[in-house]
Structures are given as C-alpha cells and as structure tokens.
Structure 1
Amino acid sequence: LQGKARSDMTVEERIGAADRRKMDGNALYQEEKLEEAMQQYEMAIAYMGDDFMFQLFGKYRDMALAVKNPCHLNMAACLIKLNRYEEAIGQCSIALGEDENNVKALFRRGKARAALGQTDAAREDFLKARKHAPQDKAIARELKLLAEHDKAVYQKQKEIYKGIFGPRPEPVPKPRNWLIFIWQWLLSVFNGLVSLFKRERFKSD
C-alpha cells in the first residue's frame, strides 16, 4: 500500500492511510515534536482533498470526516502551542465548516481568539461550546479568565478616566503659583507707573 498512488487506492485504503498518518502525528505530538506532528497531519489531510471528499456519501463520508476533522483540530492544538493563533483559528474553522457544534473546535478557536485579544469572539465560541458540554471544567475556566480580563480592563479604564476628569492632587497648586506671580508682576508694573506719574507731576508743578 505504501508505494500505491493515491488515485489507485480504494476509498477504504485512502481513509486507512490517512488514519495511520494521524496516529503517527499523535505519537509525535505526545513527544512535543510539534512541527513533525503537523507534517503528519498535513499528509493525512492531503489524502482527503476536496475532490475526494466531494465524491463521498453516507458512511464513507462519515468515516473520512472522523479522520479529517481530528487532524485539523490536532493541527490547531500544535499551532496554539507554537503561538501561531491565526493559523489555529483557520484550522478550527475548517472543522466547524463540517460540524458547527464541534466542542473541541469551538474551544480551541476560542483559546486562539482569546490569545489574540479577540475577547468577544472568544467568549462567543466558549459559550457555544458550553451549551453542548455544560459540565466541561476547561470551558468554565476559560470563561472565568475572560471575565477576570474584562474586569481588569474596566478597572484600568476607570483609572484612566478618573485621571482625565477627576481631581488631580499634584498639579493643582501650580496654576495658583502662576496666578500669584502674574498678579505680583502686574502690581509692580502698576506701582512703577504710579510712581513715575507722580514724579512727572512733581516735575511739572
């Protein structure tokens, strides 16, 4: 089977070959060999291209998706660990295109979105995942982290606005000092003018 061209394989052979690649990828993932694991997942996915999937119906399509979708999700897991969040979102979205309620896909996409600071979109994914897995502790933990993040952001904004609109204890005396200085300067100018005027009058008298 190894030397057989993809186009010469039966549907079962092709799905079987993809599944073996997936298993190899999983073993490499366990060893934290993420780049190598992704290569195996990519090869598995290549066995099940769009043209191939398009021809499948019923149980064969289900069999193929049972191998293909986990490959996309395992790719996403690798990409998240490598901080390649945009690509991880892409892999999850492919799986969600086939199964919009896939909890693992929603959870991983949520994690990637949260890491990119897309908190609203992340929350949407986690809430949808929770609807299908209400007891899942990992989902609850992620939602809690988002809530804490929102609270911290809100506090920070409150501090900033307080700084802009509220009383600022430090710079208050300075304007007063300036006013006193200007007032004293004006007084001295005025006094100077008065004494000059008096002197002029005294001369003319």
Structure 2
Amino acid sequence: MSQTFSSLMTSHYAVHYKAWAKSTSHKFEDTWQEQRPTEIILGKEKKEMAGLAIGIASMKSGERALLHVGWELGYGKEGSFSFPNVPPMADLIYEVELIGFDEAKEGKARSDMTVEERIEAAERRKVEGNDYFKEENLEEAMQQYEMAIAYMGDDFMFQLFGKYRDMALAVKNPCHLNMAACLIKLKRYQQAIGHCTIVLSEDENNVKALFRRGKARAELGQTDAAKEDLEKARKHAPQDKAIIRELHLLDEHDKAIYQKQKEIYKGIFGPRPEPKPKSSNRLVLFWQWLVALICDLLNFRRGKED
C-alpha cells in the first residue's frame, strides 16, 4: 500500500477536463477549448484540485470519466474568487480525460525539473508521436503530442526568455502543428484551427500553421478566411505546390458556387419582359379631333333649338 502511494507521489498526470458547479451547471473551466492540457502531480496538487487528483489516480491512460467531487475537496466553504460561477460550498462535476502519465525519475516531479530536462522530456514525447503518426496511429500520436505540450504549460512558458524560450517553442510549436495535422485527417477541423492559432500567436508568419488553418477553414466553408491564410502562406512560400493546389481548389469552389447562384436567380426572375410598343401619335390626334367635332355638332344643335 505504501509503495503504491509512494509511486503515485512521484508521478505527474496530463489531463484534459471540463468543470462545472453541480448546483448551477455553469462551466467554469475547459482545457479542451483552450487546447492546453493540465499537469497534476499527486501530493503536490492545488488544494482545490484534491478531488480531481484522487479521481484520476485510479484512471487508465486514455480513459475518460465523469467525476463528482464534494465541496470539501473542491473550492471549500468560500467558493472561488477566480471563478464566480463556483459559489460557496459547491459540489463539482468534472468530465476528465487522462491523456497519460510519467513516472518522475529519481522522485523528481516535473515542476522540479530544470528547463533543459523539461524540454528534453517533451522532445522525447514528440519523437514518439511522430513514430505513431508515420504508422497512421493518429490517436496514439496525439496522446504523445499532448503529453509533450503538457510539459510546457503557460506557467512554465511565462518564465522563459531568450534562448530558453526559443528552445521550448522549437518543440512546443511542432507538437501543435502535428496535432493539427492529425485532427485534419480525423475531420476535427475546429480543433485543428485552435492548435494552428496557438502557433500563429507566437509566429504570425509560420507557413505550416497558415496552410493547415487555411485548409481546415476551407473544409468548414470559411472560404474568405481560408483564402486569407493561404494567400499569406503563399507569400512566404510562393513555390509550395500544396498551397497553390489549395488555392486552386478554393477558386474552383467559388466558380461553382457563382454558377449555381446564377442559375437559381435566373429561374426566380425569369426572362426580361419585352417593352410594349408605343401607340401611334397620329391615331391619338385623330381621336382627339373626332371627339372635338362631335362636341361642336352637339353644341350647334342645342343653339339651333333655342
């Protein structure tokens, strides 16, 4: 028993979750939406995450579960200042996915690793993900990429400057891009857009991010936004055949839509009516003269009778 507990104490878990207060049903956290998994270290988790940590300790890698957490193991009597949707003494519900976990080497938790150690660990995960990707094992590949991303969460990245930040981004950004490639293959386009956008927030001219986001947007019918991304990508890689091909497909799509709309509108309005021929001016003058003549004759007859 103590050996198992000690093992858990030296493990860190990468999880995705949605969380909401049971009484209000208002969601207050969603790591899937943010495209950033969270790291939890058993025994070192935040106080308000105690219930979640206990729940994931019994889960298997890749498993999803719905966890009910009492207020005592959540945000307590006061509720949450950071999340107004969590009132005092609020029981919580978590929808959780355990992406995976690592045994910390020599009892060292991820938060205690040096910058170099964390980047190296993330790089190993990325390489494993690439191997799965080559085998078309997309779900396993994404699991490895997300584990790599979890090594470099926001708290960690905010501390980095200069060469260390560049080193971390050289691993983190390819993981987001590879995640996007997997998600496009799985037709999960909105999630792919999110990962590309994270990369573009760091490197606005990243050709792969622009291309994959443009492709995903095109699949969702967001043609104007897709063209903007792809044109920008072509500006930085004018000879890239894949970019040129996607732009050509968008042009063909626009032409097909225009032709279809043209046929629909033609059917609605029908042929343009022909203008009616104007009446002859001579005919009008003749009728005016005839009416005036009849009036004169009537007037003359009345005068004669008087």
Instruction: Name the TM tier (shorter chain).
Output: 0.7 to 0.9
In the alignment, does 2:261 pair up with 1:157? yes
Q: Secondary structure at the match of 2:261?
A: helix
Partner Cα distance (1:51, 1:6) in 2: 12
What is the number of equivalent residue pairs in this alignment? 168
Contact 2:104 2:110 in 1 (8 A): no
Partner residue of 1:119 out of 223, 241, 244: 223
Q: Deviations over 1:9-66 (max 9, x none)?
A: 1100100000000000000000011011000000000000011011111111000000
The structure 1 segments of at least 4 consecutive aligned residues displaced by more than 2 Å after TM superposition are: 1-4
CA RMSD of aligned residues (A): 1.3
Partner letter of residue 131 of structure 2?
Answer: A
Partner residue of 1:64 out of 157, 168, 191: 168
Q: CA deviation at 1:2?
A: 4.9
Quote the sequence identity (%).
Answer: 84
- Counterparts of 1:165-176 in structure 2, within 5 Å, are 165-167=269-271
Partner Cα distance (1:2, 1:27) in 2: 23
Q: Secondary structure at the match of 2:204?
A: coil
Partner Cα distance (1:102, 1:27) in 2: 23
Q: CA deviation at 1:8?
A: 1.7
Q: Secondary structure at the match of 1:48?
A: coil
Q: Secondary structure at the match of 1:144?
A: helix
Partner Cα distance (1:149, 1:14) in 2: 45
Partner residue of 1:26 out of 108, 127, 130: 130
Partner Cα distance (1:23, 1:164) in 2: 58
TM-score by length of 1: 0.80
Q: CA deviation at 1:165?
A: 1.1
Partner residue of 1:136 out of 240, 249, 252: 240
In the alignment, does 2:179 pair up with 1:38? no
Partner letter of residue 267 of structure 2?
Answer: G
- Name stretches of at least 5 consecutive residues in structure 2 with no aligned partner: 1-102, 272-306
Partner Cα distance (2:160, 2:244) in 1: 37
- Select the structure with the greater relative contact order (CA < 8 A; seq sep ≥ 6): 2
Partner Cα distance (1:47, 1:87) in 2: 20
In the alignment, does 2:249 pair up with 1:145? yes
Q: CA deviation at 1:7?
A: 1.3
Partner letter of residue 94 of structure 1?
Answer: I
TM-score by length of 2: 0.54
Partner letter of residue 199 of structure 2?
Answer: A
Q: CA deviation at 1:110?
A: 0.3
Structure 1 or 2: larger helix share?
1
Q: CA deviation at 1:100?
A: 0.5
Partner letter of residue 138 of structure 2?
Answer: L
Partner Cα distance (2:104, 2:132) in 1: 20
Partner letter of residue 222 of structure 2?
Answer: Q
In the alignment, does 2:213 pair up with 1:109? yes
Partner Cα distance (1:54, 1:164) in 2: 59
Partner residue of 2:195 out of 86, 91, 94: 91
Contact 2:133 2:141 in 1 (8 A): yes
Question: What is the match of residue 120 of structure 2?
Answer: 16
Partner Cα distance (1:162, 1:8) in 2: 70
Partner residue of 2:181 out of 73, 77, 102: 77
